[in-house]
Amino acid sequence: MSTETKEKDTQAKAAPTVESVDDVVVRFAGDSGDGMQLTGTQFTSTSALVGNDLATLPEFPAEIRAPQGTLAGVSAFQVRIADYDIHTPGDAPDCLVAMNPAALKKSIGDLKQNGVLIVNTDEFHDRNLKKAGYEVNPLEDDSLAAYRVHKADITTMTFRALDEMDLDSKAKNRSRNMFALGMVYYLFSRPIETTIEWLNQKFAKKADIAEANIKVLKAGWNFCEITQQFQVRYEIEPAKLQAGVYRNIMGNSALSIGLVAASRRSGLPLFLGSYPITPASDILHELAGYKSFGVSTFQAEDEIAAVSSAIGAAFGGALAVTTTSGPGLALKSEAINLALMTELPLIVCNIQRGGPSTGLPTKTEQADLLQVMFGRNSDSPVPVVAASSPSDCFFAALEAVRLATQYMVPVVLLSDGYIANGSEPWRLPEIESLPDLRVEFRTEKEGFTPYMRNPETLARAWAIPGTPGLEHRVGGLEKEDVTGNVSYDPANHDHMVRLRADKVRRIANDIPPVEVVGSESGKVLVLGWGSTLGAITGAVNEARSKGLDVSRAHLKHLNPFPKNLGDVLRRFEKIIVPEMNLGQLTMLIRAEYLVDAQVFSKIEGKPFGRQEILERIEQTLEG
């Protein structure tokens, strides 16, 4: 219901009723310069501290400052908070904040019927309407009749709140996002103290800016309270999460911390060679801040130098990592094969984005699976590990390090833009529960040859420069097994190609079996990998609660597959594989197990929603 009430009438209005809801989706949308990411992050932090379960989906334009007011310049942040265990940031918002016409135009189609819409009317002037492609002001026709519209002169009221402050108008204008945040805090009964504390810390050296933002934040709250903007306010109780200490974590951050944890658990200094690329750069930024943990970060001149420097570091005995996204991975291919050939441990993190070529840098996709499997010359298998949620990036990093160092092999860790920038509450693990990753360098001279192997893992010994008596040469030319001498012998080459493949294949003995959630056999299995976990879990849970015969399984290891995967797949009549690509895991599964797995593709630069997977399950059961 629209609230176009004039101020003088507001005193007559009744105080809103408070309704308790179990889950709510809020989207903040505005111009790139409107601070929507920050606003969304604050709402998220506050909700995390309140104890809700949550999931976030930031969405920003590829351009740093796209032309103001245009559709291309819209930046949005969606967050879902709940009093129970949730798995996705939600399919459609219950509440949309639109700071300008372009933001409204881009998001209104997603808002639920009867959803709450908060608009900054000050920005709905002719120029902005034109930029957004509106011929008629949507606030003045019937086009928004399906929603509960709350019009607020946010810019005007922001300036009014700061009337007495000695700040330039640019600075005043910049704090208007806090007005919107104050309104949303009021609507969803959130405390504002966390944000006040944060503002005071962030602007510790600019007390006037902190004061202005706090004033505006409170003004937004007070505006709602005094004018009784909303007939209903909402409450979302804390989620009944497992006992423990929690923090809200983004995927790239969890991955960074996971690498530092792996460094501590292995006793190896962490070396990151990287070249900035969206959406992987935040890992470089974060690790650059962990020098106190002995972390060395090297911003190389290009992607090739980044991976090459990491290979040099691995030769020297470091825990060597390179981070990138698809286009960068393409450039690193040759060097990854050098690590494979010299049998050195290397972690290659690929934070996937929409492609091909430059593609959609800020949007998500999981279409590099076949690239990491086969995108190098010759037979060159490498282990592939995929993270399935923001917090899982931490564990995926530890697992990638375990495989790389135990098997002396480059390992690819796949994440993607969705979980890299998305966040969720993370129950922090006990340090003692983390895997022991200690490695031993070879120091014994007696009997040493560079390509001698552990008979079980087939890993060669890691002998690092500076060790007396173990001087040896490695390189990209084919080597004779055991001695490591350059060899063009046909039988040796055949042996080495098979050996390198066998080494990776044997990892299947050292990873857990894939788990089936639901019945162990039945009509439909939904098989997933990577960031689709949340949407699949939500959809399958709902389908099962409706009594549908569907189970799910999720892969952490894409190469090699868990040993029981073939058996699991054959126990179901139909297999659906939701993937943000044209069917890459599907192709691998069909080739490996000769099963009739069917892909469910979504290639829109956006993650799957729960509903669409649920519908696909229902169709499959009917068909």
Partner 1 sequence: MVTETTTLKKKDFQSDQEVRWCPGCGDYAILSAVQAVFPELGIPKENFVIVSGIGCSSRFPYYMNTYGFHTIHGRAPAVATGLKLTRPELSVWVVTGDGDGLSIGGNHLIHTLRRNVGLKILMFNNRIYGLTKGQYSPTSEVGKRTKSSPVGSLDAPFSPLSVALGAGATFVARSVDVFQPHLKATLKRAAEHEGTAFVEIYQNCNIFNDKAFSYVSDKEARSEDVVYIENGEPLLFGREKNKGLRLSDGEFEVVTLGEGGVTAEDCLKWDEARKNPALAFQLAQLDGGDFPTALGVLRCVDAPNYEQGVISQIRSEEESHGDATLQDLLYSGDTWEVG
Subset of 273-332 contacting partner 1 (CB under 8 A):
273, 290-296, 298, 300-302, 304-306, 308-318, 320
What lies within 8 Å, CB to CB, of 619 at 6+ separation is none
CB of 382 to partner 1, least distance (A): 16
- Gap between the Cα atoms of 530 and 419, Å rounded: 9
Closer to partner 1 by Cβ: residue 340 or 526: 340
CB of 296 to partner 1, least distance (A): 6
Closer to partner 1 by Cβ: residue 107 or 195: 195
Interface residue with partner 1, options 133, 191, 244, 356 (CB under 8 A)? 244
Does the footprint of partner 1 cover residue 200 (CB under 8 A)? no
Tokens in use for 482? 């055991």
CB of 581 to partner 1, least distance (A): 29
Considering only residues 550 through 579, tell me which ones interact with partner 1, judged by CB under 8 A: none
CB of 27 to partner 1, least distance (A): 22
CB of 250 to partner 1, least distance (A): 11
Closer to partner 1 by Cβ: residue 229 or 423: 423
Closer to partner 1 by Cβ: residue 86 or 543: 86
Does the footprint of partner 1 cover residue 269 (CB under 8 A)? yes
Considering only residues 157 through 196, tell me which ones interact with partner 1, judged by CB under 8 A: 194
Cα atoms in the Cβ-side hemisphere of radius 13 Å centred on 146: 8
| Residue pair 459/450 in contact by the 8 Å Cβ criterion | no
**Alpha-carbon torsion, ordered 331, 333, 336, 340, to 10 deg:** -170
Which listed range, 9-17, 260-268, 374-382, 513-521, lies at the site for partner 1 (CB under 8 A)? 260-268
Handedness of CA 270, 276, 282, 288 (dihedral sign): positive
Interface residue with partner 1, options 109, 455, 466, 623 (CB under 8 A)? 466
Beta bridge partners of 575: 525, 597
Closer to partner 1 by Cβ: residue 226 or 477: 477
Closer to partner 1 by Cβ: residue 106 or 472: 472
CB of 335 to partner 1, least distance (A): 6
Closer to partner 1 by Cβ: residue 477 or 582: 477
- Total of residues contacting partner 1 (CB under 8 A): 71
For 433-458, the DSSP string reads GS-----------TT--TB-B-TTT-
Find tokens 């390992």 and name the residue: 411
CB of 248 to partner 1, least distance (A): 7
CB of 199 to partner 1, least distance (A): 14
Considering only residues 38 through 57, tell me which ones interact with partner 1, judged by CB under 8 A: 45, 48-49, 51
What lies within 8 Å, CB to CB, of 164 at 6+ separation is none
Interface residue with partner 1, options 43, 179, 223, 271 (CB under 8 A)? 271
Does the footprint of partner 1 cover residue 471 (CB under 8 A)? yes
Closer to partner 1 by Cβ: residue 472 or 544: 472
Closer to partner 1 by Cβ: residue 247 or 493: 247
C-alpha pair distances (Å), 602 with each of 326, 547, 595: 18, 26, 22
Q: What is the DSSP letter of 349?
A: E
| Residue pair 100/155 in contact by the 8 Å Cβ criterion | no
CB of 402 to partner 1, least distance (A): 16
Query: Would strands 270-274 and 516-517 be described as parallel, antiparallel, or unpaired?
Result: unpaired
Nearest to 52 by CA among 322, 423, 527, 313: 423
Interface residue with partner 1, options 146, 360, 370, 464 (CB under 8 A)? 464
CB of 407 to partner 1, least distance (A): 20
Per-residue burial over 367-387, b if 16 or more Cβ lie within 10 Å, else e, is: bbbebbbebbeeebbbbbbbb
Does the footprint of partner 1 cover residue 246 (CB under 8 A)? yes
Does the footprint of partner 1 cover residue 81 (CB under 8 A)? no
CB of 496 to partner 1, least distance (A): 16
| Residue pair 224/152 in contact by the 8 Å Cβ criterion | no
CB of 245 to partner 1, least distance (A): 5
Interface residue with partner 1, options 19, 334, 379, 456 (CB under 8 A)? 334
| Residue pair 63/25 in contact by the 8 Å Cβ criterion | no
CB of 274 to partner 1, least distance (A): 11
Nearest to 584 by CA among 602, 569, 566: 602
Closer to partner 1 by Cβ: residue 257 or 525: 257
What lies within 8 Å, CB to CB, of 161 at 6+ separation is 179, 215, 216, 219
CB of 205 to partner 1, least distance (A): 20
CB of 456 to partner 1, least distance (A): 27
SS (H, E, C) 139-152: CCCCCCCCCEEEEE
Beta bridge partners of 218: none
What lies within 8 Å, CB to CB, of 332 at 6+ separation is 303, 304, 306, 307, 322, 324, 348
Closer to partner 1 by Cβ: residue 340 or 414: 340
Closer to partner 1 by Cβ: residue 95 or 257: 257
Closer to partner 1 by Cβ: residue 320 or 613: 320
- Gap between the Cα atoms of 386 and 411, Å rounded: 11
Considering only residues 403 through 432, tell me which ones interact with partner 1, judged by CB under 8 A: 427-429, 431
Which listed range, 108-116, 170-178, 462-470, 584-592, lies at the site for partner 1 (CB under 8 A)? 462-470
- Gap between the Cα atoms of 600 and 611, Å rounded: 13
- Gap between the Cα atoms of 385 and 511, Å rounded: 11
**Count of other CB atoms within 10 angstroms of residue 82:** 22
Interface residue with partner 1, options 277, 335, 527, 613 (CB under 8 A)? 335
Considering only residues 480 through 499, tell me which ones interact with partner 1, judged by CB under 8 A: 485-486
What lies within 8 Å, CB to CB, of 126 at 6+ separation is none
- Gap between the Cα atoms of 273 and 309, Å rounded: 6
Closer to partner 1 by Cβ: residue 17 or 433: 433
Closer to partner 1 by Cβ: residue 16 or 51: 51
Does the footprint of partner 1 cover residue 395 (CB under 8 A)? no
